[in-house]
Amino acid sequence: MNTLQAQTQLIVRQRVRLMVNQYEVRGAQPDGSEGQLYAFAQQKRMAFREQVTLYADESKQEAVLGFKARQMVDLGATYDVVDAGGTPVGSFRKDFARSLLRSTWHVEQPGLGTATGAERNAAVAVLRRLIEIAWLPYHFDFLIDGRPGFSVEKKWGLRDRYVVNIHDPRLDRRLVTAMAIGLDALQER
């Protein structure tokens, strides 16, 4: 995970398996293609308390990061992000009221403050709610004090693929990675 912090672009790809969602987090090559694997994540479906663990690779032998809901059932639940040793990295939460028309999330990193991300296109946000098309792409722009922090763009395709662009070098890439996976895993809740 040491070289993860130097990345300015990540690619998150979802794999759908029976009873679990799996994700690969890779660095992006200069040409935009997928590069080094930084993490492999797995989320159990239908868990009472949302929890996602990220591992160093697909063998799932070494946990490197995770996030877990503080509350069992809450529409605006806060998710704590911790490293492998349990040290807090930050947190994120959905802004339920603002998300009724346009999904909005808040990401908090100690010492940096809050990045607020909302769907870029209001028309796409409303369309997604009206016809509930899972493959419809969406884009989130996260701002810190009005300046770009990072963005997450869902690309067209049968399998979910996200391109994450990190604009603020102060952002902990582990927190950004957790939020990108959280967007896929938790967006419909």
Instruction: Give the domain range for residue 102.
Output: 2-186
The residue type at 32: G
Quote the tokens at residue 150: 């990072």
* 0.85 surpassed by pTM: yes
DSSP 89-116: EEEEEE-TTGGGTS-EEEEEETTTEEEE
The residue type at 77: A
CATH number at residue 54: 3.20.90.10
Taking only the tens place, the pLDDT of each residue in 87-144 is: 999 999 999 888 877 889 999 999 998 999 999 877 777 776 667 655 667 899 999 9
Taking only the tens place, the pLDDT of each residue in 36-95 is: 999 999 876 655 567 899 999 999 999 999 999 988 766 678 999 999 999 999 999 999
Residue 173 has pLDDT above 70, yes or no: yes
Count other Cβ atoms within 10 Å, centred on residue 36. 12
Number of compact structural domains in the chain: 1
Give me the chain's average pLDDT, please. Answer: 87
159 confidence band (pLDDT: 50, 70, 90): confident
d(CA 53, CA 181): 11
pLDDT of residue 74: 65
